[in-house]
Amino acid sequence: MPSFPDLATCKKVGFIVPSSNIAVEAITQAIFQSLNSNIICIFTRIQVTTLGTDANSTSQFSTETLVAAARLLADAQPDAIIWNGTSGMWVGTGIEADRNLAKAMQDATGIPCSTTTLATVEALELCKAKTVGIAVPYSQALTDRVAEFFTGLGYGISSSARLEPVPASNAEIAKSSAGDMREVITNAAGAETRAHAVVVGCTNWPAAGLVEELEKALDVVVVDSIVVTVWSGLRMAGYSGAVSGWGKLVAEML
Residue 64: per-residue pLDDT: 96
What CATH number is associated with residue 80?
3.40.50.12500
Q: What distance in Å separates the CA atoms of residue 98 and residue 195, rounded to the nearest whole number?
A: 25
Judge if 140 and 155 occupy the same domain: yes
Element at 235 (helix H, strand E): helix 225-236
Judge if 233 and 112 occupy the same domain: yes
Cis? peptide before 165, omega within 30° of 0: yes
Judge if 204 and 133 occupy the same domain: yes
What CATH number is associated with residue 185?
3.40.50.1860
Residue 191 in this model has a pLDDT that exceeds 80: no
Question: Rounded to two decimals, what is the model's pTM?
Answer: 0.95
Average pLDDT, the chain: 94
Average pLDDT over residues 46-57: 85
Instruction: Tell me whether residue 250 is in a domain.
Output: no
Sequence-distant (6+) residues with CB within 8 A of 186 are 214, 217, 218
Judge if 16 and 69 occupy the same domain: yes
Residue 104's domain comprises 11-119+227-245
Say which amino acid occupies 136.
V
Residue 59: per-residue pLDDT: 86
The lowest-confidence range among 42-56, 143-157, 195-209 is 42-56
Distance of CA 20 to the CA centre of its chain: 15
**Residue 110 falls in which region: left (phi positive, over 0), alpha (psi -120 to 50) or beta:** left
Going by C-alpha positions, the residue among 223, 21, 194 that lies closest to residue 135 is: 223
Judge if 209 and 111 occupy the same domain: no
Judge if 208 and 231 occupy the same domain: no
Judge if 44 and 91 occupy the same domain: yes
Residue 252: per-residue pLDDT: 82
**Phi/psi of residue 51, nearest 5 degrees:** -125, 115
Give the percent of the chain with pLDDT over 90: 82
Give the angle subtended at the CA of 84 by the CAs of 126 and 140, to the nearest 5°: 85
